[in-house]
Amino acid sequence: MKKIALFILMLAGTSVYAQEKTRTVKKFHAMGSIGMLAGQSPVKPVIQFSSGMLFNKYYTGIGLSFDAYRFISFPLFVEGRMQFGSKREGFIYSGLGYNIPYNGKQSEEDPFATKSKYIGGAYFDVGLGWKPRGHISFSAGFSYKELTNNSTYVYECLIAPCPEEQSHVLYGLGRILAKMSIEIGR
Amino acid sequence: MKNFRRSLGIVFIVVLALFSFPACIKDHCKRTYTYQTYEPIYRTKDEVRANIRSNPARDISNPGKLFILGRYIFLNEVDKGIHVIDNTDPSHPLNFAFIDIPGNLDIAVKGNTLYADLYSDLVTLDITNPSQVQLKKIISNVFPYRAWGGNFSPDSGKIIIDWKQKQVTETYSCDGGYRKYLSDAQLFFSSAGPSSPSASVSPIGKGGSMARFALINDHLYTVSTTQLDVFNISNSNDPVEVNHLNIGWSIETIYPFKNKLFIGSQSGMFIYNVSVPYSPAPDGQFSHVRVCDPVIADNDYAYVTLRSGNSCQGYTNQLDILDLRIFANPTLVKTYPMTNPHGLSKDGSTLFICDGADGLKVYDATNPSNLQLLKRFEDVVTYDVIAFNHIALVVAKNGLYQYDYTDTRNIRLLSKIVVNN
């Protein structure tokens, strides 16, 4: 977790440094996206919001997702994007951040667990996009999120405290992310 | 347009490439379990028998059933043996010896003879001098074999004297599915207990309501989950099994009163007549919902506590008072709601009820239809009680308490032996 935070800070610092160094025109840029996540588990929807600054063909910003793949979670990430092509219709993007878990009832509950809690983990995505014209863009790539489920099982006994068993399950979920975005700015 | 097509082509190639690496598009799952395992520590039968004697006193850590005889208290340490406590001065009880009896859960004392279970064996001890008890007899395999959790089978040639606890952490890939089940080495429960306190009667000995051993005159009666065993103890040091009856299922406790045995089960209370001591005969029963139910009785009434939770099923927590004047058909006099009642005891018109985390409750039971709460001790999680000769011995989670109830309006704590867990 510390490493992720450090990386996010470094990424943000790099973008600020780049802004001062190049002295290019900077513009506010924001995106709202909906998409699908497909992998080993059933396909689930994703909704993303990201906003930041566009420096010529480079974009950097902060985003938040609603990610329903296997476990509901909310990835918070720093996103970078580089446009290419004569009209900058193509772009590659990458995001890195922290996957915030939802600690309410998940679809994949262990009925034997006495207590259950979800802990967040790393989030990462990378992909390619295409913005034909206007404010609509399409992109596809790889997305990865981690989370840990900590469960406690308490066994029956006559006199407390009863024996307990602890389970920590680390999930690393790799998926294909395909999304359509509406972009503001440029 | 040319660039546009090129960009589109690149996007498709990337998606195609992603699908070509299925190892990436996968749910990885790594499961780490932390749990306690218990490895048995064995001794040979000869070693165990040689150690059944008055050894130096030990701290009380997991108290079970209780028996008092004269100035001595015999307190079961679950599965380990018996603490011998000199209670000459109830304000200053002295824990002075420990009798090692592995697998012990139940006790009964008649005169100078103590009967105890050693897993499936019945042990007879001469306790004339509690500082130097003597093993007199062991009858093998009279009680059901202990069954353990998981698939564990003990070494049949040896005896388990203790368990070595270990914390184990295992990590492996899970990829879906729930937790794995207990390994064979994890033994969190056994068929016989840990149940709870005490046994009963004869030359002055008195046991609690959680007992599985009961004494009436020259016979020892023991209950296990399904059976009632009868031992002739006319020669105290030489008990002989004289009868063995299958009496039902989920049998929990036995309480003797006059020539009756009150047997508590998870489905009801059974009354057996022992006018013919070696041949108990059914004499009545009172059915209730499926819960645990210690029972005591006096001349006219039976007091049955019903509780739920843990190994006890159901959702009932109450005290039922039954009219026994027609033994064959006990009738309910009144039900009193409780929190989680366990053992109970009655001396004269004073009724003591261990109501789990709700503490010890003391009632004036002069009129069973209208119990009057005299006192409630809230700060003890109680388990079983023996009220005798104006002293109430209470087994609680954190100690063995003694209360003086000479004046029921001023019940006072005399002493406490702390439990060291």
Q: What is the pLDDT of residues B245-286, one digit of tens each?
A: 988 777 878 888 888 898 888 777 888 999 999 999 998 887
Is pLDDT at A5 greater than 60 in this prediction?
Answer: no
3-state secondary structure of B27: strand
Best probe of the B interface among A128, A139, A145, by most B CBs < 10 A, is A128
Amino acid B182: pLDDT = 42
Give dist(CA A95, CA A124) in Å, integer: 6
- Indicate the residue of A89, A111, A173 with minimum beta-carbon distance to B3: A89
Instruction: Answer whether the bond into residue B239 is a cis peptide, omega within 30°.
Output: no
**pLDDT at B176 exceeding the cut of 50:** no
Q: Which of A86, A140, A174 sits opposite B24 (nearest CB)?
A: A174
The DSSP secondary structure of B236-257, one letter per residue, reads TTS-EEEEEEE--SSEEEEEEE
Sign (positive/negative) of CA torsion A21, A22, A24, A28? negative
Backbone angles phi, psi at B165, to 5 degrees: -90, 135
Tokens of A116: 């259950």
> Residues B192-213: what's their mean pLDDT?
47
Dig out the tokens for B199 from the structure: 């046994």
pLDDT of residue A37: 95
Taking the whole predicted model, whether its pTM rises above 0.90 is answered as no
pLDDT at B191: 41
Query: Does residue A8 surpass a pLDDT of 70?
Result: no
Per the omega criterion (within 30 degrees of 0), is the bond before B194 cis? yes
- ipTM, 2 dp: 0.76
Give the best-scoring range by mean pLDDT among A152-161, A171-180, B302-311, B392-401.
A171-180
Mean pLDDT of B135-151: 82
**Distance separating alpha carbons of residues A83 and B348, to the nearest angstrom:** 93
Per-residue pLDDT at B369 exceeds 80: yes
The DSSP secondary structure of B199-226, one letter per residue, reads ---SSS-EE-TT-SEEEETTEEEEE-SS
CB contact under 8 A, B28 and A171: yes
When pLDDT is averaged across residues B24-33 and rounded to a whole number, the result is 85
Answer yes or no: do B28 and A173 touch at CB < 8 A. Answer: yes
CA B395 to chain centre: 11
Does residue A13 have a pLDDT over 80? no
In this complex, how many residue pairs, one in chain A and one in chain B, have their CB atoms less than 8 Å apart?
124
DSSP assignment letter at B179: P
Least confident range from A52-61, A119-128, B59-68, B116-125: namely B59-68
Q: Which of B69-78, B105-114, B143-152, B300-309 has the lowest mean pLDDT?
A: B143-152
CB-nearest to A158 from B33, B174, B195 is: B195
pLDDT score for A179: 94
CA distance A3 to chain B (A): 21
Query: Tokens 């954190």 label which residue?
Result: B398
> How high is the pLDDT of residue B206?
60
At B194, the pLDDT band (50, 70, 90 cuts) reads very low
Confidence of residue B135 (pLDDT cuts 50, 70, 90): very high
Contact B194, B311 (CB under 8 A): no
pLDDT at A82 over 70: yes
- The Cα B104–Cα B192 span in angstroms is 10
In angstroms, the CA B70 to CA B215 distance is 16
Tell me the backbone φ, ψ of residue A89, rounded to 5 degrees: -85, -15
Cα–Cα distance for residue pair B2/B8, rounded to 1 Å? 10
Q: Which residues of B43-62 are buried (b: 16+ CB within 10 A; e: fewer)?
A: beeeebbebbebeeeeebee
Percentage of residues in chain A with pLDDT exceeding 70? Answer: 82
Sign of CA dihedral B401, B404, B408, B412: negative
Give, for B6, the enclosing helix (H) or strand (E): helix B2-19
